[in-house]
Amino acid sequence: MARRYVSIWFRYLTTDWYALRQPQLKTLPFVLRTSEHGRMVITAANAIAEQQGIARGMLLADARAMTPSLQVLDDKPDLAGKLLNRLAQWCIRFTPVVAIDPPDGIILDVTGCSHLWNGDIPYLQSIITKLYTRGYHVQAAMADTIGTAWGVARFDDSIVIERSKHIEALLQLPPQALRLEPEVIERLHKLGLHKVKQFIRMPRPSLRRRFGNHFMMRLAQALGQQDESLHPIELPEPYHERLPCLEPIATAPGIEIALQQLLEKLCARLQQEQKGLRKAIFKCYRVDGKTEQVDIGTHLPSHHIEHLFKLFQLKISSIEPALGIELFILEAPVVEDHHPQQEAMWQGVGGLHDIRLAELIDRFANKIGIHAVHRYLPDEHYWPERSFKEATSLHEKPTTAWQDKPRPLQVLKAPEHIDVTAPIPDYPPMLFRYKGKVINIVKADGPERIEQEWWLQQGEHRDYYRVEDQAGNRYWLFRLGHYHEKIYQWFIHGFFA
């Protein structure tokens, strides 16, 4: 069967994507830039900018001089590749064989597909309109060979080249349409060969001698004399398991059995692929058409059936089966690589890397909430309230050492104001009154002055004293501000062991 191909050209791929996210950009000239050898170079320009003469590869300074109102955004590396991959996955609805054609195209093998859309033209129009309504400027063409479709999509207005008419279509195109190297194109133009028809009838040996093997290969591919292979993309198979039930399930043990079965299937697959799930959703489709769902999250990727089951078990009671559930679906939307550890070595007390600890934290996070679990690391601040920060994970290592200054084990949520008798100028207090009791101070250490970090917060410094009373109770007091300014205040901040 004769093959048919469609080539889609995303003329403004990356700029279209930015315009979709920021609709105000649609009516403005804007470019994407990246830094190259210390200069800002334009990597993509939208249609309005291109009309004003700005092109890819120009220096940003030059473009700004031409169009002062130019909007500039940072280009993301490999954005085009990711977008093409996503669009190619979306194009699977038109044909099973979709390949990426870097830097800005997609090629579809549409052999035997178009009759489902009642012919070639409605088929291609449907592709173009669907992509256009998504917000992309596209040009597409259908032909017998990949090379012709590619060239026609970019250098001609016709969209469908009829069967075995591809050579005629090719004749009117410029040599760029043959996907040649830039030097070869330049040489062809220098020789006055501005159209394919001018050189296609020349003897092959002389063409090969002048323009090389690559030129001959591209020409043969466009004419259909040489096969060109596609590398179709593979759709990632979603982590998804279904369990239909013959009889509606309405009891908690029934739901648990269903969940167990689904988890076994899903975890077997995850284990085989050395993956672990970070998030899972358990959906129950009820007889009355409603859907009940519960979801869980894990701290580390996991395919441990027992652990995941325990996490779900905490939430099963929230499922209302009503008249019964006829279909269970278990999905894992977030999956990460998980390399198995040698677990037997960790029997006994393990450290923070112990998998059992991670599982325990998961149970807390799912029942109480992840905000309830804290772990702290030292931070480079002297101000006591800022001297530690929250760790983002169990494995995060401290970047600095913990301060070795004496600090109280118990601190008040906020320092409490106290009345103090203290000899001036800088001696520790003699007695203070806290919660209606007078506390006589026998021993004291200090002061330890801690200055405000003015770049974070304005205010007075603190002079900290460690004091001990007759009974041996030890307190952490501080004076806010200087004595001589008469605006100082005393506070109690904590209790030492």
**Where does this chain bind other proteins (CB under 8 A)?**
346, 348-352, 354-357, 360-361, 363-364, 367-368, 372-378, 384, 387-388, 391, 394, 397-398, 402-404, 406-413, 442-445, 466-468, 470-475, 494-497
Shortest Cβ distance from residue 409 to other proteins (Å)? Answer: 5
Task: Kindly list the strands in the beta sheet with 5-10, ordered across the sheet, starting from the edge strand earlier in the chain.
Answer: 97-101, 105-109, 5-10, 138-143
Question: Alpha helix locations (H) across 53-119?
Answer: 60-66, 79-90
At closest approach, how far in Å is the CB of 429 from other proteins? 14
Phi (first) and psi of residue 330, to 5 degrees: -115, 125
Tokens standing for 359? 């599982």
67 C-beta neighbours (distance < 10 Å), count:
18
From the CB of 353, what's the least distance to other proteins, in Å? 9
Whichever of 97 and 373 has its CB closer to other proteins, that residue is: 373
Distance CA 447, CA 443 (A): 13
| Cβ proximity of 422 and 489 under 8 Å | no
Nearer to other proteins, 4 or 299 (CB): 299
CA distance 92 to 96: 5
Measured between alpha carbons, how far is 205 from 398 in angstroms, rounded to an integer? 70
**From the CB of 412, what's the least distance to other proteins, in Å?**
7
User: Phi and psi of 121, rounded to 5°?
Assistant: -70, -50
| Amino acid identity for residue 482 in this structure | H
Is the CB of residue 358 less than 8 Å from the CB of residue 351? no
Nearer to other proteins, 79 or 316 (CB): 316
Residue the block writes with tokens 């058409």: 289
Q: Which is nearer to other proteins, 62 or 396 (CB)?
A: 396
> How far apart, in Å, are the Cα atoms of 480 and each of 175, 448, 486?
80, 12, 11
Q: Which is nearer to other proteins, 117 or 388 (CB)?
A: 388
| Cα angle for residues 235, 329, 237 (degrees, 5° grid) | 10
The least distance separating other proteins from the CB of residue 312, rounded to whole angstroms, comes to: 15
With CA atoms as reference, report the closest residue to 441 among 464, 465, 412: 465
Judged by CB, which is closer to other proteins: 93, or 375?
375
Least Cβ distance, residue 430 to other proteins (angstroms): 15
CB-nearer residue toward other proteins: 167 or 360: 360
- Nearer CB in complex with other proteins: 97/360: 360
* Min dist. Cβ of residue 476 to other proteins (A): 9
Cβ at position 348, least distance to other proteins in Å: 8
